[in-house]
Structures are given as structure tokens and as C-alpha cells.
Structure 1
Amino acid sequence: MNRISVMKPWLGAAESEALAEVVASGWVAQGPRTAAFEGAFAEHQHVQHAVATSSCTTALQLALIVAGVRPGDDVVVPSFSFIATANAPTYLGARPVFADVEESTGNLSADTVAAVLTGKTTAIIAVDQGGMPLDLEPLRHLCDERGIALVEDAACAAGSTYRGNPVGGGADVSAWSFHPRKLLTTGEGGMLTTNNAEWAARARRLREHAMDVSAAERHGSTLAPQEHYGEVGYNFRMTDLQAAVGLVQLGKLDAMVQRRRELAQRYREAFGGMSGLRCARDPEHGTSNFQSFWVEVLPEFRMDREQLIEKLAADEISARRGIMAAHRQPAYAGHPGMVSPLPVTERLTDNTLILPLYHELAEHEQDRVISSVLTAGGG
């Protein structure tokens, strides 16, 4: 049997042709393709400004900087997330304060955030975990009441919706990932989006060493203008090679979301009558792109989570443990941001797994996954 991977990017001839065009142009660094990708992504997400970056992590770091987070501040984050969410404030000398998440979505809620706010809280990073849209409006109200910046970590969420609109637009600033495990990939790369023109302009400067004249402007001029550096910046740029791939991928995004939602529905129908499995599903306030399809293995299932992963592996099916709990990682052991117990986070981390789901997953391959899980559960 062929091994079934847990995820695969959907790449093909169109991406290869776009890369060849960039190479032939002689301009491979951040330049016209990057600007075009920024404009197209902003339009797709219904926001005014998009700033391409080298990764979602660097986009998150810039988002916190432009939102005014400083050393010594507290930033509320979910522990139930990839560790980059907690790392971004740490890079700035701020303290990530871990909040628990909702059982149904794996996302922060206004209640879980309110439980860990301090007098030093200046920002919240709310994650659309696995593409599941967070309930933004209660968080928006909480932040507005307290003068706190709302940063959306939409790393996994391109193509997800909140109350009929693309996610990300209701936050003060959002960050996106184009890693190969996401729907829309550029290999590595990220994006910052915001409706705040001043924040976007500063992020553009900071991503290339805080130069007041962009590298594209300098290299495109016969007589290059003299640049100046008003503050300490970073090298967080995207290349035109990556952006060219991103433009092609953006054109395929709607088809990717449709296919993933069809496959997710097949999983839910197959496991709907099975005792002991709880499947990810859309919340009432939005729709998921199903960047990941996760299931929670409940006590009444015949196997525990680890045994089920081993069973799938024996059937040549690659699954993954669910989202990590950052506060359990050695990097954050004994961290002062652990101010409250996180029972839901720990339960989900211990008992969830991610099943194969990607655009080119054939139905006969998905049937193999379904059969393996049903057999494991005694069905």
C-alpha cells in the first residue's frame, strides 16, 4: 500500500511557470511580484493593507511592534497553539500570559481571556486554530473596553470566514502563514494585514531594516536615492520567487477550501455514529477552511489517542498528535506567564489527533483512513 500523508501542498505546472518567469526577469528579491501578491491578498481578505514577510512568526512580531507592545508588557496568548504564538511576544521582551481555550473550537474566548488579564496587558493574540474561525466580536468588545490591541494569528485560516466575511479583517492587525502545511503556500513566508495605514507603513519599513526608501526603489533607479534608518529594523522580507507562487496559489484558494470542506464532511458522516470520537465542525459564527481535520479521542473509544496513531501508522496512514500545549514545552517550563490552570488545553493536547486532509486526497485513500479508524473503534 502507498503511504497516505497527513498533509500535502497542491502545487503544479502553473507555479513552476510563475517561478520561471521571475527567474527570467532577473528580479528575484522583494519587488513587483511581492507588491502584486500583497495587493491581491488584501483584496481577497477585504482589508486595506497587506505587508508580505518572511514568515508568519515575523509577521506576528511586526504586528506586536506596530500595535505598541513594549518590553515588560503582558500579551495574552493561547498555550494551545504552535509555539511561535508565544515566541513572538517573548522576542520583544514582553510576557506571554497563557489563557485556556474553548472545548468546541480550540480557540480563545472572551471569558478565558478575561480570566488572565493583568494591569500590564497591552495585547491579545487570538488564534484561528487549525483554520477554525474564532468568535471575534466578544474579544473585540473586551479589547475596546480596556484599550488593548487585538492581534489575530490567522496562520492557518486563509479561506475561513467569520459571520460571512473573510477572517482577519476585524482585528487591529492579523498575521498569516504560507508554510507548506497551510492551504496557500509559498514554501516559507507570511503576511501582515491591517486597516491602519500608519501601522502598515511602519511594518513595511521595519521588514527591511527600517529603511525610508525600499530596496526595490533603490535598485530600480539609475541614480539611487540616499536611504536613512530611523529605528532599528529587521530583515523580514519575502522574495519575488515566493510571491509568484503565492499569486498562483491565491487563485486556487477557493477550490482548495471547497475540496477540504467536502472531505471533512465525508469524515463527519463516517464517524457520526461512532461512540468515543468527537470531530471538528464549523462553529455557528463561521466556516472553517479545515486546514486540519482533528478528532478528539474520548474515554469510551476502544483505543487511546496514542494507540490509534499507532494503528493508523501500521496501516501506512500518517496522522499527527493534536496541537501542542506551549506551556508544557521545556522552553516555557516554569514560565511566569502560567497564571491559571489550563484544563481544556491539556485535555485537547492529550487526546486529539489530526487525520489526513489535503486537496489531492483521493476518496479511495480517505476510505482507507476511515476504515482504519472504524476498525480501531470496533466498528
Structure 2
Amino acid sequence: MKPWLGAAEIAAVTEVIESGWVAQGPRVAAFETAFADAMRTRRAVATSSCTTALHLALVVAGIRPGDDVVVPSFSFVATANAPTYVGAWPVFADVDLATGNITAETVAAALTPATRAVIAVDQAGMPVDLAPIRALCDPLGIVVIEDAACGAGSTYHGRPVGAGAEITAWSFHPRKILTTGEGGMLTTSRPEWAARARRLREHAMSVSAADRHASLVSPPEEYGEVGFNFRMTDLQAAVGLVQLGRLPEIVARRRQLAARYRDELAGVPGLRLVEDPAWGTSNVQSLWLEVLPSYGTDREGLLLALASAGISARRGIMAAHRQPAHAGRDHVPLPVTERLTSSTLILPLFHQMTDAELDRVVQVLRDHGGL
């Protein structure tokens, strides 16, 4: 993955520097409004990362010490870490083989009497089937938080992912197709959650820093609860505004490259590329494939072959329950998670990728598949 940045981002950052206002301010506010509009959601609150957005989501949703939060193990470890920040217990659910996402069925198998929330991930940009999960959880009073860290530009039933969730967390890390360097966003349909998240990201101040500094006589502020420093800067937001304008072009290019991979690898036995589900489209934030036993070598052998050809690929999505930080947690059987985390890899794919570079990758995959 390589971020697609250029002269427009440089100009936007330069303008912010020349303005003298580089902390959270007018550019952050503009980015929040533009992002909410683009994702067809009502309110957006910019944060320092997706992890801090998840943290805030759990806090404003009322998750407390002793609560259980169902999460996929098949996800970056931040998904499992976030519940621990509020004293809750992550409970691992298995995922669907085709998409790598949790389903209503895998969530149901992981529910406990103490379950108060579910974090549903759009893994690698693949849209999670959210409606059945909400149909299961809403009547039980269980909050469904969508982790759309990888999801900007993906769709679910014709709308952007996240549009059907009460609360969603987003990432703008450089591995994501819309980047601000570091940064995240919380979107929500609930005004009270958005208002509290805005306060909490800024030490729970009753008066924002922007409003305080805009006044010649600074109004007194109060701190009604213990808050956090989860702010985004105007420098980052300026980049985000440019990137947001490019998002359709970025997604179109990634889907074009993914389609070429699929066409070129269609006849290679033992390789299964992830594909769009019936309910939506992926932004192809990561294009992962499963190396099946019928292929000429295993996943580790293929990674070595690619590396020997000067091609950087990566092991597929981790299983958080295998990590030392979470290894002691009891969980239901996770056979699909175990299979996918041991047999998948992520192919090189970036906006500037040339036909020749893609052909190099394909040739190694074909050679080691016996073709």
C-alpha cells in the first residue's frame, strides 16, 4: 500500500500553516461536515485515530467495567483493545469464510448475559452485513458499533457503509485509502452522543479551544468529567478534505486493479480471492487471497517466493485471540478465523500501481501454482 498524495495536499497544508491556526479548528470542522455528508450520516466528530474513535464510541454508548463486548478476533488488535480501555471484556466471535466478517449467526454464538455491545468490522473494506446483526441486537438493548476503519468508499445496500449504524468509527491511517497521516472519525445518528464525544475528545471542556481562542475575553471553562486528548489537527483535516474529494477516483482505480488480478488469476488452482458480497461493494482497501491446499505451496512459501522476486506482500489479517495480550480470554470455537489467519495473504495494490508491476505479481503466483 502507498498513499496517494500530491500537490493539492501540499497546497492545503501550506494554507493552514500560513493561517497561523494549526491545531483543531476551522479545517477540522469543515472536514467533519464534508465527511458526514459524503457518508450520508448526520454527525461526525474528528479524532486522533480510529482507535480513539472506538474508545469514545464505547464511552458514549455507556459501556462500563464488567460489560462484555462481542468483537471479531479476525481483525487488527485495536478492535479487541478498545473494550479493555473502558474496563469491558472483549468476547471473540468467529467470521464468515467468504468475507472475513462477523455475521448475525457468529454473534449469536458469542453472546453472554453480560453482552452490552457488538463491534462489527468492515474487514479490509468488505462491507459487513449489518442489518441482520442489528435485528439480533437491537431488541436485546445491545449497541452495535460499526468499525469502518477500512470502509471509506465501500457500500452496503447502495449506501456508504456506516450509514445504517447508530455509531461508527473510521480510520485515516496511511494504510487506508483516505488518509490524513494519522487520524480518525466518529459518526453517529444520536445528537447527545456526538455532543458528548466532542467534549470528551477535548478533555471534557465545556468550551472548545476554538471558541475560547476566538474570544478576546476567554469564557471560563468547566470540566464535568474526566476526558481525553483525542483531537485532530487542522493540518490533518486539510489533507483529509483533499483526499475526500478524490475518494471516488481512488475507489474506482482500486476496483479496476482488483478486477485485473481476478481476471489474471482465474485459472490458477488453489487461490481464492475475496469478492464483493451480494449486499454491497468493497473499496478494496486490502485485496486478500486464501492459499488453499491445492495450490503448489503454502502461504508462507508463497510469501517467500514473492519476496525473492522483490515483491512485498503481507500475511493476512491477524487473529487477536492468538496475540499474547488477549491469549488468556475464553472464547467460542473460531475455526474460520483460525483457517483464514493461517492461509491468507494481502496482495500489493496501490493507486499508482502500473500494469507491469501487477504482471510481476501475477507471474510469481502463476509460476508457483504450476502454470
Q: Tell me the TM-score range normalised by the shorter chain.
A: over 0.9
In structure 2, give the amino acid aligned to 1:174.
Answer: T
Using the alignment, how far apart are the partners of 2:349 and 2:190 within structure 1?
Answer: 35
In structure 1, give the amino acid aligned to 2:352.
Answer: E
Using the alignment, how far apart are the partners of 1:333 and 1:156 within structure 2?
Answer: 25
**Percent identity between the two aligned chains:** 69
Using the alignment, how far apart are the partners of 2:274 and 2:3 within structure 1?
Answer: 21
**CA shift for structure 1 position 290:** 0.2
Using the alignment, how far apart are the partners of 2:110 and 2:48 within structure 1?
Answer: 31
Using the alignment, how far apart are the partners of 1:18 and 1:369 within structure 2?
Answer: 35
1:283 aligns with 2:247: no
1:238 aligns with 2:232: yes
What's the CA shift string for 1:295-349, capped at 9, x where partnerless?
00000100100000000001110000000000000111212xx321100001000
Match of 1:63 in 2: 57
Using the alignment, how far apart are the partners of 2:305 and 2:299 within structure 1?
Answer: 10
1:16 aligns with 2:3: no
Match of 2:301 in 1: 307
The aligned runs of 1:46-125 (5 Å cut-off) are 46-125=40-119
Match of 1:169 in 2: 163
Q: Secondary structure at the match of 1:9?
A: coil
Structure-1-length-normalised TM-score: 0.97
Q: Secondary structure at the match of 1:371?
A: helix
Match of 2:124 in 1: 130
Match of 1:157 in 2: 151
Using the alignment, how far apart are the partners of 1:254 and 1:195 within structure 2?
Answer: 24
| Residue number among 178, 199, 203 corresponding to 1:209 in the alignment | 203
Q: Secondary structure at the match of 1:204?
A: helix
Using the alignment, how far apart are the partners of 1:370 and 1:296 within structure 2?
Answer: 15
- Point out where structure 2 has 5 or more consecutive residues left out of the alignment: none
**CA shift for structure 1 position 376:** 1.2
**CA shift for structure 1 position 207:** 0.1
Match of 1:180 in 2: 174
Structure-2-length-normalised TM-score: 0.99
RMSD: 0.5
Using the alignment, how far apart are the partners of 1:164 and 1:140 within structure 2?
Answer: 18
1:371 aligns with 2:363: yes
Q: Secondary structure at the match of 2:178?
A: coil
Using the alignment, how far apart are the partners of 2:137 and 2:215 within structure 1?
Answer: 44
In structure 1, give the amino acid aligned to 2:191.
Answer: A
In structure 2, give the amino acid aligned to 1:372.
Answer: V
Q: Secondary structure at the match of 1:115?
A: helix
1:31 aligns with 2:22: no
Which structure 1 residue ranges, 4+ long, deviate > 6 Å from structure 2? none
What's the CA shift string for 1:64-101, capped at 9, x where partnerless?
11111001000000000000000000111000000000
Match of 1:3 in 2: none
The aligned runs of 1:297-336 (5 Å cut-off) are 297-335=291-329
Q: Secondary structure at the match of 2:146?
A: strand
In structure 1, give the amino acid aligned to 2:52.
Answer: T
Q: Secondary structure at the match of 2:53?
A: helix
1:254 aligns with 2:248: yes
Q: Secondary structure at the match of 2:196?
A: helix
**CA shift for structure 1 position 272:** 1.1
In structure 1, give the amino acid aligned to 2:27.
Answer: R
Q: How many residues are aligned here?
A: 371
What's the CA shift string for 1:123-163, capped at 9, x where partnerless?
00000000000001100101112110010000000000000
**CA shift for structure 1 position 201:** 0.3
- Point out where structure 1 has 5 or more consecutive residues left out of the alignment: 1-6
